[in-house]
């Protein structure tokens, strides 16, 4: 991994950026933290989520299997 990628993965993101990166809401984000799927740290009063744990979570998700409307109609 290049030094730039390491630096990016070592970032601590506020919940608002983590939600944007994952496309999820606050409740689901905190459920992921509580379940241990995301790594969160406290920085004073603030919660920060590691960019590395977001990348690892995204990589663990299964690929979507999409079909078009035409394939359904023909079946």
Cα separation values, 43 from 12, 13, 33, 47, Å = 9, 11, 15, 6
In a domain, 69, yes or no: no
The answer to whether residue 72 sits within a structural domain is: no
Task: Tell me if 74 is assigned to some domain.
Answer: no
CA dihedral 10, 15, 18, 22 (to 10 degrees): 150
Q: Name the residue range of residue 53's domain.
A: 3-62
pLDDT of residue 2: 53
The number of distinct structural domains making up the chain is 1
Looking at residue 61, the DSSP 8-state letter turns out to be S
pLDDT of residue 4: 59
pLDDT along the chain (75 residues), means of 10: 68 97 97 98 97 97 86 54
What phi and psi values does residue 17 have, to the nearest 5 degrees?
-75, -35
Q: Is the overall model pTM greater than 0.95, yes or no?
A: no
């Amino acid at each position: 991994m290049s030094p730039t990628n390491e630096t990016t993965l070592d970032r601590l993101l506020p919940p608002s950026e983590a939600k944007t990166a994952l496309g999820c809401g606050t409740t689901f984000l905190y459920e992921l933290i509580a379940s241990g799927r995301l790594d969160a740290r406290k920085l004073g009063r603030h919660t920060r989520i590691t960019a590395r744990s977001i990348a690892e979570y995204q990589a663990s998700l299964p690929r979507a299997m999409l079909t078009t409307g035409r394939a359904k109609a023909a079946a």
